[in-house]
């Protein structure tokens, strides 16, 4: 007599469980103005009480223009009053980066990352010691940069554009230049310095300052 075998019940992948219990349940992943995305916690509808965590990260990063190691931020979030477990820290950090991608820059081994790629997200989960964050304010650079350079390079930018709205397209613009242009030695010394700034991209703030500096 043959043994009757029923259809095995589908198991929910660990990634789906994490999404449902953290990103969806917390409403970090939701529609805003009919657009689905990752957004900061809503102070008035915050089922998982993550709004204080977002404020804590923002305060920790400050606005001094200094890079803060991700490992130090993790220790801060694991301590009181937050007490966040190690396993969910990378997910929350990536959600924070996505929700504040216009104000917070990511660095990998000291080099500015214009875009958060899947490879970087995976490495961030495994080796957080390679990464740092920096929070920026556009400040006084804005008007001069808009008038002199941005429209000709990356087109019109909204009035509420932030530093990273400007830096990212400029870094990508430089990265897509032909190899001959990047390696050419017959251009002016000022142009060589600007190209070096684009290539190294150590800081969006320094990068933008160098792109509009005058010849000494």
Range of the domain at 188: 139-211
Instruction: Say whether both 62 and 119 belong to one domain.
Output: yes
Per the domain annotation, does 98 fall within a domain? yes
Instruction: Say whether both 131 and 149 belong to one domain.
Output: no
Instruction: Say whether both 94 and 187 belong to one domain.
Output: no
pLDDT along the chain (216 residues), means of 10: 52 79 93 93 93 95 84 96 92 93 85 84 94 74 51 57 66 76 76 69 57 44
Instruction: Say whether both 37 and 89 belong to one domain.
Output: yes
Instruction: Say whether both 49 and 104 belong to one domain.
Output: yes
Per the domain annotation, does 3 fall within a domain? no
Return the beta strands (E) in the chain as ranges: 29-32, 35-38, 68-69, 104-108, 111-113, 131-135
**Is residue 10 classed exposed, middle or buried when 0-12, 13-18 and 19+ CB atoms within 10 A define those classes?**
exposed
Measure the CA–CA gap between 204 and 19, rounded to whole angstroms.
32
124: nearest Cα among 135, 134, 113: 113
Per the domain annotation, does 4 fall within a domain? no
As for how many domains the chain has, the answer is: 2
Measure the CA–CA gap between 26 and 41, rounded to whole angstroms.
8
Query: Which phi-psi region, left, alpha or beta, contains residue 134 (left: φ > 0; alpha: ψ -120 to 50)?
Result: beta
pLDDT at 38: 94
Final residue of a domain: which of 110, 135, 160?
135
Per the domain annotation, does 79 fall within a domain? yes
pLDDT at 25: 92
pLDDT at 142: 46
Final residue of a domain: which of 81, 116, 135?
135
Instruction: Say whether both 147 and 91 belong to one domain.
Output: no
pLDDT at 216: 41
Whether the CB-CB separation of 142 and 150 falls below 8 Å is answered with no
Measure the CA–CA gap between 103 and 50, rounded to whole angstroms.
19
Instruction: Say whether both 119 and 189 belong to one domain.
Output: no
Final residue of a domain: which of 80, 107, 135?
135
Instruction: Say whether both 162 and 183 belong to one domain.
Output: yes
Per the domain annotation, does 1 fall within a domain? no
Instruction: Say whether both 121 and 29 belong to one domain.
Output: yes
Name the phi and psi angles at 116, rounded to 5. -90, 105
pLDDT at 212: 47
Instruction: Say whether both 119 and 170 belong to one domain.
Output: no
Instruction: Say whether both 174 and 122 belong to one domain.
Output: no
- Is the pTM higher than 0.75? no
pLDDT at 214: 39
Instruction: Say whether both 122 and 156 belong to one domain.
Output: no
């Amino acid at each position: 007599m043959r043994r009757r075998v029923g259809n095995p019940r589908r198991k929910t992948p660990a990634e789906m469980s994490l999404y449902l219990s953290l990103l969806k349940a917390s409403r970090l992943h939701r529609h805003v103005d009919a657009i689905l995305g990752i957004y900061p916690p809503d102070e008035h509808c915050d089922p998982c009480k993550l709004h204080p965590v977002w404020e804590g990260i923002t305060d920790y990063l400050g606005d001094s223009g200094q890079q803060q190691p991700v490992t130090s931020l993790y220790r801060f979030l694991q301590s009181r009053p937050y007490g966040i477990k190690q396993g969910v820290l990378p997910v929350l950090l990536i959600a924070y980066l996505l929700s504040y991608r216009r104000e917070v820059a990511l660095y990998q081994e000291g080099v500015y990352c214009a875009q958060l790629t899947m490879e970087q997200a995976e490495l961030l989960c495994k080796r957080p010691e390679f990464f740092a964050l920096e929070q920026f304010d556009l400040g006084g650079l804005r008007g001069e940069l808009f008038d002199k350079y941005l429209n000709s390079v990356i087109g019109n930018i909204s009035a509420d554009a932030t530093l990273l709205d400007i830096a990212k397209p400029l870094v990508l613009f430089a990265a897509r230049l032909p190899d001959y242009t990047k390696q050419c030695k017959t251009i002016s010394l000022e142009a060589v310095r600007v190209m070096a700034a684009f290539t190294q991209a150590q800081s969006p703030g320094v990068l933008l300052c160098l792109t509009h500096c005058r010849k000494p």
